[in-house]
Amino acid sequence: MPSYQPPLRDMQFLLHEVFEVTQEFKAMPRHAEVDAETVNAVLEEAGKFASDVIFPLNISGDEEGCTLNRDTHEVTTPKGFKQAYAQYVEGGWASLSCDPDYGGQGLPFVVNQCLYEMLNSANQAWTMYPGLSHGAYEALHAHGTDAQKQLYLPKLTSGEWTGSMCLTEAHCGTDLGLLRTKAEPLPDGSYKLTGNKIFISAGEHDFTSNIVHLVLARLPDAPVGSKGISLFVVPKFLVNADGSLGERNPIFCGGLEHKMGIHGNATAQLNLDGAVGTMVGQPNKGLAAMFVMMNAARLGVGNQSLGLTEVAFQNALAYAKDRLQMRSLSGTKAKDKPADPIIVHPDVRRMLLTAKAYAEGGRALSTFCSVLIDKELHHPDEKVRKDSAELVALLTPIVKAFITDNGWTATTMSQQVYGGHGFIKEWGMEQFVRDARINMIYEGTNGIQALDLLGRKVLGNQGATLKKFGKLVGRLVEEEGVNEKMAEFINPIAVLGEQMTKFTTEIGFKGMQNPDEVGAASVDYLRVAGHLVFGYLFARMAQVALREIAKGNSDPFYVAKLQTARFYFAKLFPETATLMRTARAGSRVLMDTDAALA
C-alpha cells in the first residue's frame, strides 16, 4: 500500500526563504498581517487533512468509481467521499482564500495552492470536486452581476454548493467556436438553454444540495465562431431570491464516462433541456469571462501533476531503499544482506532524481506563479499588478504543459523503479500513472498550450513579456555571476537566456513566411522555455542553500537541495540543446508527408 507525507519542509523553504512571501504580503493591505507562523500552521493542518482523511480513500475510490442512477439522473460517489467533503467544509478549507465579503477567510492564494498540491497528492479524483468550485467562484467574482454574486458566491465560498465548467461538446473540444448549445431569451431576462455537454468533471455528484454550472452557449442572433459565445450560470436547482432552493432545473446527467483514470470523479455527460440560466458578463463575450475559470483550471491541472509527481516519488524512494536486487557495480554495499537495495544502482537513482527534480521544480514554479497572482490581485501599485499579470499569462501554459509532461515522466519512472510490482494494482503506482495521463489532455491539450505560449504570449507581443522574464534571469546572473560556487547553476541559464532571443526571433521570422512553422516548433519551444524557468528557479533555490551552508547551517536539507539542483542541470536541463535543434527542423518534415500518412 502506498503512503504520503506532506512536503511541508520544502514548501516552507520556498515560501519563507526563496520567495520571502511575508515580505511580499506586507506590501498588500489585504494580506499585511499574514505572518509565517499563520502560514505554517494552516499548511500543517492542511497536510493532516490530506494525508489522514482523503489519502486513505484514493485506492478504494479508484476501485469503486461513481454510479449513475439513470432513472433519477443522480450520481453516487465512492464510499467515504461525501463524508470527507463534509469534513473539508466543516474545517473551513473551501473558504481559505476567498473574499471575506462573501464569507471567505481572505488568506493569500499561494497558501490555497499549497493546500491543493497536498490534496492532489492525496487524492486527485476527490480534489476535483472542490477544485472546480474555485474556478466557478473566480469567474463569477470577476464577471458576475451584483445579484449573481450575492446569490451564488457565499454558497460557493462556504462549500455548501459546488461549481462546474461546461464547455466541451461531442463535436468540439478546444475549438469552442464550433459549439451548438443554444440560449433563448425569456421575458423575465433569463434564458432557456438547450444542448449537450460532455467531459464535465464533477458535473453531477452527491456532495452538495446544489451545483452551480457555468455554461457556454449561443444566443439566437449570435455571430458564428468564438465571437458568438455567451456565458450563463445554470444551477442544478433554481435559486429563490432568499437563497433557498426552488425547482429542479432540467440540466441532467445522461451518462458517466468510462475512463483510464480519475475513476473517483464523476466525468458527466450533461443534457440541457430548456434549463434556465442567467447571463454572466456581456452578450457574445462569454469566452473572455470563461477564461478566468479556464486559466484557474490550467494552473490547477499543473498542480494536479505536481501532486502526483510528489507522491509517486515518495513511494518509489521508499521502495528503492527496501527492495533487494543484485549487487552494486562498485562493490557490495549491504554486506549483511543477500543483495543490495536497488537505490545503489545508478539508473534507479537517475529515475528517482528525475522525479524529485520535477517535483521540486514544479513546486517552485507553482509557488512563484501563486505569489504573482496575489500581487496581480491585491498589490496597491498598478504597475506591479500589470507586470505580475503579464508574467502569469506567460507562465500559465508552461505550468499546465511542462509540469504535466514532467509529471507523466516522473510517475512512469517511479513506476519503473518498482519493476513488475509497479504494474500491479495493490502497490498503487499504476493508479498514479493512470491518473496523471489525463492532465496532459484536458483544459487544452499540451499542444494547444504550446501554441498559446509561442503564438500568443511570445510572438503576439513581439517577445515583450518574455523579455520581462529575461530581466529576472539577467538580474540573478548579474548578482551571482562572479560567485564561483554558483557558476554551475548560473552559467547554463545565462547561456540559454541569450540563446532564447535568437531562437525566438528565428521562429517568429519563419512563422511570418509560413504559419505552420510556429505549429511545428511550438511543443519543443515550450519545453525550452520551461527549462529556462525551472533553471532560474533552481538557481534561486541553490543560492539560498549555499548561503545557509556558508552561515554554518548544518541542516541536511540544504545539501540535498544542492544535489538535486546539480542533477537537474547536469541531466535534465541539457535537453534544451536537442529541443532547439528539433524545433529548427521546421514544418516540411511534418507537413510534406502525405504519402507517409496516406
Helix axes 346-378, 516-550, angle to 10 degrees: 100
Q: Which of 47, 185, 194, 208 is nearest to 116 (CA)?
A: 47
Could you give the 3-state DSSP secondary structure of residue 254?
strand
Asked whether the beta carbons of 579 and 524 are under 8 A apart, the reply is yes
Asked whether the beta carbons of 292 and 391 are under 8 A apart, the reply is no
Range list of H helices, 379-439: 382-417, 429-438
Which residues form the catalytic set?
Answer: 443
Q: Which of 485, 479, 499 is nearest to 545 (CA)?
A: 485
Q: Is 471 exposed, middle or buried (0-12, 13-18, 19+ CB in 10 A)?
A: exposed
- Identify the bridge partners of residue 172 per DSSP, sorted by sequence position: 169
Helix (H) or strand (E) holding 491: helix 487-513
Torsion angle, alpha carbons of 540, 546, 549, 553, to 10: -10
Asked whether the beta carbons of 150 and 203 are under 8 A apart, the reply is no
Indicate the residue type of 226.
S
CB atoms within 10 A of CB 593: 10
C-alpha grid cell for residue 240?
Answer: 429563490
Rounded to a whole number of angstroms, the CA Rg of the chain reads: 24
- Identify the bridge partners of residue 229 per DSSP, sorted by sequence position: 285
Alpha carbon distance 385, 476 (integer Å): 22
Distances (CA, A) of 538 to 302, 542, 577: 18, 6, 19
Indicate the residue type of 403.
I
Q: Which of 148, 191, 183, 181 is nearest to 277 (CA)?
A: 191
DSSP 256-299: E---SS-TTS-EEEEEEEEEEEEEESSTTBHHHHHHHHHHHHHH
C-alpha grid cell for residue 396?
Answer: 500559465
Alpha carbon distance 548, 454 (integer Å): 38
C-alpha grid cell for residue 256?
Answer: 458517466
Asked whether the beta carbons of 255 and 269 are under 8 A apart, the reply is yes
DSSP 403-415: HHHHHHHHHHHHH
- Identify the bridge partners of residue 166 per DSSP, sorted by sequence position: 215
C-alpha grid cell for residue 486?
Answer: 554558483
